[in-house]
Chain A
């Protein structure tokens, strides 16, 4: 008798479990659909050359990174914060991933879904470190991450090889008279 009861309970439990799984599936599916697709722009070396030669207001920050590089991944949120703090006119931020086109769907998109960023990400087409040097106007050892800051005319201001902090970026921006949006407004009202 007890054995039968036990069997019955077991099957009931199993049925409930399965039905919950089935009924909740559409919920999961819906959630997946509403998830924002990360913004990834393809970029070529000659496009980087162009963006460094176009005259514009503010500073240009280029950060080279890869998902397999732990210090790169660690500093991405810093760039996200910086992007939110400054006006798009003053700060042109290019987070350029070097992993190549074949990594886009398999590696980069899933990574950015897991680690969302408020700013777009650029995916470099081709480009070995040695090809990069001419375009970036500086020596590139190949070690990641590397962050290079340029003036509005595309003149190199500062190069950071290795990790960078929010304060590092902020101080370079401040030295070049670029202030965060809120502070800028405070400055204007005061």
Chain B
């Protein structure tokens, strides 16, 4: 009998400690998002003023590119992202660009997008608030969100080291293929070389 009470007591102490440690772990980890976590929702306007939210695309695979037309590396990746759009947009994959550069205005984005025939919407992240929320740091930086709204891939577009260089590993395309096949993304996290996302200066 007393043994039973003791084990119960231990169990409750153990579980309290566990909860405490987990909570501490989460709070210490800060904002950085992990693979498998839910991607925070957004409400952003594209360069035509049309509203987009992540939740509206629930049930679809969403490829988000933090991009900047000011960044040669980002410009270099854009045509290849457009090719992926051609290949996968009719298979239930949504492509979105997000421009968080604090100086770039929607009209400039529109001009760039039309001149370069961007087939996907580019959203304006005013005052880089969403980039802050998801801790996006460079352009180009890719997030791929699965059908359940969870982050399935985060990192470089591919492993190229210059805007026009040939990649040897196509991280984004491989991740899309895996998700469409219902498989786990093998390389779910990489790091991208690129330009810093120019944020509103803090005082």
The answer to whether B163 has its CB under 8 Å from any CB of chain A is yes
What is A's interface to B at a CB cutoff of 8 Å?
A: 66-70, 98-100, 102-103, 107, 128-130, 140-144, 161-162
The answer to whether B190 has its CB under 8 Å from any CB of chain A is yes
5 of the cross-chain contacts (CB-CB < 8 Å) are A103-B162, A129-B191, A142-B194, A143-B137, A161-B196
Interface pair B194/A144, CB less than 8 Å apart: yes
- Tell me which of B163, B166, B193 contacts A142 (CB under 8 A): B193
* Residue-wise interface mask of B (162-183) relative to A, using a CB-CB cutoff of 8 A (1 in contact, 0 not): 1101100000000000000000
- Minimal Cβ-Cβ distance residue in B for A161: B196
- Tell me which of A70, A130, A141 contacts B138 (CB under 8 A): A141
A122 to B130, CA, bound (A): 36
Contacts of A141 in B (CB 8 A): 137-138, 191, 196
CB distance from B165 to the nearest CB of A (A): 7
- The size class of the interface chain B forms with chain A is 20 to 34
Which DSSP category, helix, strand, loop or mixed, fits chain A's interface?
loop
Interface pair A107/B194, CB less than 8 Å apart: no
Contacts of B67 in A (CB 8 A): none
B residues 43-86 touching A (CB-CB < 8 Å): 72-73, 76
Contacts of A144 in B (CB 8 A): 193-196
Interface pair A143/B165, CB less than 8 Å apart: no
A143 to B100, CA, bound (A): 15
Q: Which of A67, A68, A99, A103 has the most CB of B within 10 A?
A: A68
Known: A66-B161, A69-B72, A142-B192. 16 other contacts (CB 8 A): A66-B73, A68-B72, A68-B76, A68-B163, A69-B195, A70-B72, A98-B193, A100-B161, A102-B165, A103-B162, A128-B159, A129-B191, A141-B138, A141-B196, A143-B197, A144-B195
